[in-house]
Amino acid sequence: MAEKGLTATPETPPARTRKLIQEAIAEHLDIEAFSSSRAFLIADLGCSVGPNTFYAVSNVLQVVEQKCQSLGLDSQILEFQVFFNDHVGNAFNTLFRSLPPARRYHAASVLGSFYGRLFPKIRLHFLYSSFALHWPSGAPKEVQDKSSPAWNKGRIFYPNANKEVIKAYAAQFAKDMEVFLCAGAQEVVLGGLMVLTFITRPDGAPHSQVFINMSLDLLESCPMDMVKKIKQMMLVESC
């Protein structure tokens, strides 16, 4: 299982994220424990279509090579394998067409939700996910049930929602994270590392005052307006 897991806040800028990865690898990645395997396996969960995933992978490889050199190990004997993960509907053709031509790693895709096992046990050396874990595996059942106090009135997000809705989403997040971390604990080798960055809310800050909520509140209205428009069109056609 992974020895350490580190997280960054939503305000984390790219430079800070790079520094976080560098510090995590320098301080916690036990390369000597598995250097004899001559293979270093990296997974980016929720990779989307790039180019951010390529920057992150490049940064990881660079820091790993630097640590090898600092330990007197020959980093050139390592073969890097990178697994790009996302849902089946992700545009992987676009992702792979954009792969850096001079990359020093073998690339492969792994399809499916990261809320569950994706890799064989004790296989990964570095597991990374950036701004993906704040998306739940699905909407809580309570917010879809009109008879529930947590019914969200058909909305797809929860700014300015009542406390029951927020509790339902919090419970969903806790359940999802438990599944995610349990899977990662089985997939990452002893001495390996897990680095996660995702959106969080400062302690005590109301949901309605979080900037991301205001942005998603506007985005939420778009698909809902589209659904209403389609229903109106269907009604007109049926008359």
Indicate which CATH number applies to the domain containing 71. 3.40.50.150
Tens of pLDDT along 41-72? 999 999 999 899 999 999 999 999 999 999 89
Tell me which of 61-70, 77-86, 93-102, 228-237 is least confident: 228-237
Residues 67 and 19 in one domain: yes
Residues 189 and 214 in one domain: no
DSSP-derived secondary structure for the chain: --SEEEEE-TT--HHHHHHHHHHHHHHH--GGGTGGG-EEEEEEET-TTSSHHHHHHHHHHHHHHHHHHHTT--GGG-EEEEEEEE-TTS-HHHHHHTS-TT-SSEEEEEES-SSS--S-TT-EEEEEEES-TTS-SS--GGGG-TTSTT--TT-SS-TT--HHHHHHHHHHHHHHHHHHHHHHHHHEEEEEEEEEE-----TT--GGG-HHHHHHHHHHHHHHHHHHHHHHHHHHHH-
pLDDT averaged over every residue in the chain: 82
Residues 148 and 182 in one domain: yes
Residues 17 and 95 in one domain: yes
Residues 147 and 196 in one domain: yes
Residues 38 and 18 in one domain: yes
Residues 124 and 221 in one domain: no
- The total domain count for the chain is 2
- The domain containing residue 81 runs over which residues? 4-200
Residues 130 and 224 in one domain: no
Enter the pTM of the model: 0.80
Residue 3 binned pLDDT confidence (cut-offs 50, 70, 90): very low
Residues 125 and 233 in one domain: no
